[in-house]
Amino acid sequence: MTRKEINIFGTSFLDLLSGALAAVIILFIIVPKMTAEQQNALEEIEQLNVQVEELSNIMEQIQNSVSQEVYEQIQHQIEALQETIDHLSEQVENLQGQLAAAQSENERLRAEVEELQENSQRTQELEQENEQLRQRIAQLERQIQQSAQNGQGISDGKVFGMNAELGVVCIWSENVDVDLYVKNLSTGKVCYFNHKNTPFGNLNEDIRSRSSSDDDRYELFYQSQIVPGQYQIYVNIYGDSTWNGQPAHVDGYAVIFPGKSNQVKIPFRQITLTQKGQNVNVGILCVTNNNITLQ
């Protein structure tokens, strides 16, 4: 009696193989999306491996029930399926590596963002500090201006902003052309508006008029370096036709080493000028290398 050949490639079995392959392909498409999905894909692959092993066992059981040709065809298909699974497993590993690299890059970017935020905060703090410094500078400038208005225009090594070791300051508030004269008694030379620069000192500015009550300019005789000697100081109202008869009340002081620990400051008595060309004597300033006196 002829042995009847058993055909195991029925529709159900082929559907099983096709379904398994389709499941693998679907997993291949879904895997790159999320880490959880990649984990599910790995579990599916493991299940497929189990199914392949089960198919191998079935093949061993039916090996004697089918022809060698049919068996080899099934075996080739199973091997192809296994290769596909191996390839997909490799793809999953590559995707996991890419995911790890992406996570590392994300951590680096997050660290940079945090650093930028810290720098931004530090920038804001520096801006606040700069604003406080600007306010402090403005306050000091107001104090200096107030000191100047009060006849105290001395800072470290300067008289009203002039680098000097000695200064003679003449201050008045009226709109009158008052002139300061400093005469070197040893040479007879005079420093004044028409001869501002001399070997023994300089005059900074000739104040001829005042435009408003806020005009707080002054006349200053100064020595950048001490020139010892005796100097007669006097003031007057300039004798031209522009004077309207208004008197001028003149104050001032002499100072040596302004703003330093060895500073000596001598205020003048107030002088009232009522006539042109009065040449009112303030006094004789005696200057040594380290001191001044007013006689």
pLDDT band at residue 89, thresholds of 50, 70 and 90? confident
Cβ 292 vs Cβ 254: under 8 Å: yes
258/229 Cα distance (integer angstroms): 19
3-class state of residue 274 by DSSP: coil
Q: Is the pLDDT of residue 179 over 80?
A: yes
- For 119-170, write each residue's pLDDT tens digit: 878 888 888 877 877 776 666 666 555 554 444 555 555 566 677 899 998 8
- For 23-61, write each residue's pLDDT tens digit: 666 555 554 555 666 667 677 777 777 776 777 677 666
Going from the C-alpha of 270 to that of each of 123, 134, 172, the distances in angstroms are 54, 38, 10
Could you tell me how many residues make up the chain? 295
Q: Is the pLDDT of residue 257 over 80?
A: yes
Q: Is the pLDDT of residue 224 over 60?
A: yes
Query: What's the pLDDT score for residue 232?
Result: 95
Sign (positive/negative) of CA torsion 142, 148, 149, 151? positive
DSSP letter at 240 equals S
Q: Is the pLDDT of residue 289 over 90?
A: yes
Query: What's the pLDDT score for residue 151?
Result: 44
259/265 Cα distance (integer angstroms): 10
Q: Is the pLDDT of residue 102 over 90?
A: no
- For 187-200, write each residue's pLDDT tens digit: 999 999 999 999 99
pTM: 0.47
Cβ 207 vs Cβ 219: under 8 Å: yes
Beta strands of the chain (E only): which ranges?
Answer: 154-155, 158-159, 162-163, 166-171, 178-184, 190-191, 197-198, 201-203, 219-223, 229-237, 248-256, 264-267, 271-273, 280-287, 292-294
CA angle, 157 then 188 then 180, to 5°: 50
